[in-house]
Amino acid sequence: MSTDPTPLGPIAASALGKVAVLMGGTSAERAISLMSGGGVLAALQSLGVDAQAFDPAERDLSELKRLGIDRCFIALHGRHGEDGTVQGALELLGIPYTGSGVMASAVAMDKVMTKRIWLAEGLPTPRHVWLPPGEHGIDQVCRVPAQLGLPLIVKPPREGSSIGVTKVTASDDVDRQMQDAVALAAKYDADVLCEEFITGEEVTCPVIGEGAEAHALPVIRIRAPEGAYDYQNKYFTDAVQYQCPSGLPEAEEREIQRLALASYRALGCRGWGRADLMIRATDRQPFLLEMNTSPGMTSHSLVPMSARSIGMGYDQLCLLIVSQARLDAPPSAARPVTAAVA
């Protein structure tokens, strides 16, 4: 397993052509996307790249052709940005884009489908119960704690940034907790995912590249106040502590990197991504939670933090990612820039 980053070297900004940074969009993560996109845009422009902002919520994607855009950096998060829909539109327009293709983006966005693939590949992920539309009644919902134990997590399977997530704990009103948690998740998704809660440490591991050439970056250890690694603490406070290097035993770090790579490859991801995991306290067993195919690029984001620990600055990271933009097919229509980043 290779865990070294792509070697750095000079690259001419002019080789990238005109770049559109897609940001904003219509998902519940719009505000975070605007923060990510703003950072990426400033970084690319500082390196001399002919880059401009493009918000699909305000402009039709067909304008990208009229503007003569040569490639897109997708800084969209959530629905209609990270779920294969924008990727499919860019395929039809013939404009190369960053990150995973249509299928991998769609599958990774759906945590239920992701789990099915990981389980088929023998990769560890917490036990779960899927509640599809029509099965949100009190009888189905209140049976879940007996199946998964308590505490457990209830979430919309096609949202990110901890939106619509509830931790259900043991108490006299657990039935009410479950009903409220499912009702909240159902505001964001027709399906609801209930998941075994893994007590332990939260970690994340970015991956860059494709296939056999993909590389896992250093693991980040996440220490949130009272375990509340929620939307507010992720993006708008400094209460969360991040350790990178992680300080984990070398064998644990290597195993997490191995699982991150295996999970990324199993889903067919490319370009870049970030696997989130929990390490169970009782036996130090890591469990895969989700794969992010368009990770955040804000001041609090984790991929830049991991890259920085090996000497790759934010600007360099943005340039490396956009240099690898391509289409699903035909490959010859969207060859990545082969030189790496200065």
Catalogue the active-site residues: 29, 161, 235, 274, 276, 290, 292, 296
Which residues, 6+ apart, have CB-to-CB distance to 135 below 8 Å? Answer: none
Tell me the C-alpha distance between 195 and 125, whole Å.
10
Contact 295, 160 (CB under 8 A): no
Distance of CA 98 to the CA centre of its chain: 13
Distance of CA 326 to the CA centre of its chain: 19
| Structure tokens given for 282 | 């009782």
Contact 74, 22 (CB under 8 A): yes
Sheet arrangement for strand 18-22:
50-54, 18-22, 71-74
Tell me the C-alpha distance between 25 and 80, whole Å.
7
Tell me the C-alpha distance between 106 and 63, whole Å.
24
Q: Can you state the angle between helices 102-109 and 111-120, rounded to 10 degrees?
A: 100
Contact 109, 291 (CB under 8 A): no
Angle at 90 between CA 89 and CA 92, to 5 degrees: 65
